[in-house]
Amino acid sequence: VTWYELWQFDGSNVTMLTRDAASSNLDTVGTGTYTVNTGLSKTIISMQDFANTTFNGDWEVLKMNKEMMVILNNSNGGWVYREFVKE
């Protein structure tokens, strides 16, 4: 699997990492907190406390199962889309 970001969800905290291309070391992109709100038709992940405000806000869960999760956020006037696979 080729990936550009690794998001680690632990309790109410989330850490975003990237792999340095030259050294293969993991570099922290940001840390923050999250909560999950479920409704009849939508699941929303609310993220807060990131220095990069692109990641703050409400992310709609478009798809989630045991193998993958797809989320979407309209941040600062632009759409941010992330697709995750479970490792």
Residue 34 has pLDDT above 90, yes or no: yes
Tell whether pTM > 0.85.
no
**pLDDT level of residue 47 (50, 70, 90 thresholds):** very high
What burial letters (b/e) apply to 31-70, b meaning 16+ CB within 10 Å?
ebebeeeeeeeeebbebeebeeeebbbbbeeeeeeeeebe
pLDDT for position 3: 62
pLDDT at 2: 56
Token pair in block for residue 54: 């692109």
Q: Inform me whether the pLDDT recorded for 5 exceeds 70.
A: yes
